[in-house]
Amino acid sequence: MLCIVVEKLPEGPAWQYEVKLDGYRAIAVRTKTRVELWSRNKRDFSRRFPNVARALEGVPVETVLDGEIVAVNSDGKPSFSSLQNFGDGAAAILFHTFDAPVLAGADLRSKPLATRRKMLRELILKIV
């Protein structure tokens, strides 16, 4: 979850790059009774972003999602200041999911990222 400074970006088929969304990186954990949202520093985001937790209640029990909590303004652009001040209602709060390391109790970490993302897309299409 942490970025590190390097002199040269890694290259090759084992590497992928994504747009920086300027939000809070979080892990969503769907337990039998609720959805928990955790920061990389083990801060509980569940109470701060209850709408995100509620939106993920359709995810199968025993699922772990790696993503980023992002505020988007009326133009659909990420806004970190809106995220920090989300209570003013000026922005929509979203959970942009990157990965599903655990899905319905199945540990997928040994599977290729492309496979996990395909399974994640299929899951999202079922619950939307």
When divided into structural domains, the chain yields a total of: 1
Across the range 25-42, mean pLDDT stands at 96
- Asked if residue 114 belongs to a domain, the reply is yes
Query: Is 1's pLDDT higher than 60?
Result: no
Give the pTM.
Answer: 0.86
Catalytic positions are 20
Look at residue 87 and tell me whether its pLDDT is greater than 70.
no
Asked, for residue 1, whether it belongs to a domain, the answer is no
Domain assignment present for residue 13? The answer is no
In which domain, by residue range, is 123 found? 24-127
Query: For residue 7, which amino acid is it?
Result: E
pLDDT in tens, 111-120: 999 899 999 9
Q: How far apart are CA 70 and CA 95, in angstroms?
A: 6
Measured CA to CA, the distance from residue 9 to residue 61 in angstroms comes to: 37
pLDDT, average across residues 53-72: 95
CATH number for 41: 3.30.470.30
